[in-house]
Homo-oligomer: A and B are copies of this chain.
């Protein structure tokens, strides 16, 4: 079952397209999973992809659309009429359809919506467009199975069978009152194993986890992970059941959050991929480099201020990159542990305790590294003992300072509701470079008096 695109497969498909051999193409592709075809699309020329798109069933192409890379999807949608797009969306679940519509221009959006055949479906999609994409409302789909608490099991099973036709995966059957307010749930398993004569009100489980339409998507992800849920109902401000979020959407949220934190730690400020355009990649990378450059200016100015040391103690300057690098590395380590702890909700205790712990940790690391530095500089590099003591003391101080900055800045940002991941990567390395150099030369000046 392991699918892998081979060069042979790609060139076979391209050949069939150029021969306009639709029949062979259909035979070849109909056997494939839509996610695999989407992978092939990402590799083809856009004209070729559109050619295939038009000969396949809209049942398959609709699913392919949801799997494509955003830029490829944009190009394909550009090659389709509003009516053709509407045909695709009619095949999709409301949440996927709404996500695709949201990517269209305002005028095309309205055209496409007016072309949707299934009016109920169209209403649901339009409804979903209202919600912020980073909330439960933006994640949810309208497809769910709900029954009234006043029904008996027989009516319920009948209604359920009708509703289940439109729902790809039935996770739970939600129970609502006459006003549509969420009251509880029934599991499919319970229905399978319970006598059909029982009244609903007697069998349903009154305890049901739910989120509100405006709950942030990261919070939805946290709740679903913590309570091991595969779907969670979403209610509006009045407690009425309006949708449900499924675990596959949450997997995407978790991945995106992790990717974003990773990129911030590496000094990339936007969600980019290796295959994005050079301009997009530059836009994501340049701001942090400019920040680092200005940090560099500050370190140059600082070093100029200690110029007087150069004639007698020139070798001090040989150690600046080492001191700066250690400060940067320690700072990144400290901040990364805090950022990850905050993201996983696994940080307990006060800021003071955290800083105390970090101080003892960095003191331990600092002492080990300082003894390595002292012996290394003295025996390997032949550095004078006095200078050796200075760089050793400086290293310990710099490591402690760097870890305190690395620990406290993300905690402080988090307190003020700012994403702590911003305080990793270039931000921390640059500020720690500066402080590191300042501390190092101040200690040297104090001891040597230049």
Contacts and interface: CB of A to CB of B under 8 A. Distances in A.
A304 B315 contact: yes
A297 interface: yes
B381 A227 contact: no
A234 interface: no
Contacts of A376: 293, 297
A275 B230 CA distance: 29
B227 A35 contact: yes
Main secondary structure of the interface of A (DSSP, over half): helix
Given A266-B336, A272-B337, A278-B360, 7 more contacts: A170-B189, A261-B262, A278-B357, A288-B329, A297-B377, A297-B381, A324-B324
B325 A369 contact: no
B274 A340 contact: yes
Contact of A282 (B228, B251, B361): B361
A272 B347 CA distance: 12
A341 interface: yes
A168 to B, nearest CB: 8
A332 B348 CA distance: 31
A80 interface: no
Interface string A263-276: 10111100011110
A86 to B, nearest CB: 23
A175 interface: no
Interface in A21-68: 33, 35, 42-43
A326 B381 contact: no
Contacts of A225: 248, 251, 255
23 contacts: A43-B348, A169-B189, A169-B230, A188-B192, A225-B251, A225-B255, A250-B251, A254-B254, A254-B255, A268-B337, A273-B341, A281-B337, A285-B333, A286-B368, A295-B325, A296-B323, A297-B380, A300-B377, A301-B381, A310-B317, A321-B433, A328-B328, A328-B429
A267 B430 contact: no
Contacts of A443: none
A238 interface: no
Contact of A341 (B1, B275, B296): B275
Contacts of A193: 161, 164-165
Contacts of A426: 329
A16 interface: no
Interface in A302-336: 303-304, 307, 310, 314-315, 317-326, 328-330, 332-333, 335-336
Contacts of A188: 170, 188, 192
Sorted nearest first, the 9 A-B pairs with minimum C-beta distance are: A296-B322, A266-B336, A258-B258, A274-B341, A303-B318, A317-B317, A299-B321, A300-B318, A321-B324
A127 interface: no
Contacts of A346: 69, 273-275
B267 A192 contact: no
Nearest to A67: B226
Contact of A365 (B282, B319, B330, B337): B282
A352 interface: no
A350 to B, nearest CB: 12
Contact of A230 (B248, B301, B372): B248
A368 B69 CA distance: 30
A248 B228 contact: yes
A275 to B, nearest CB: 6
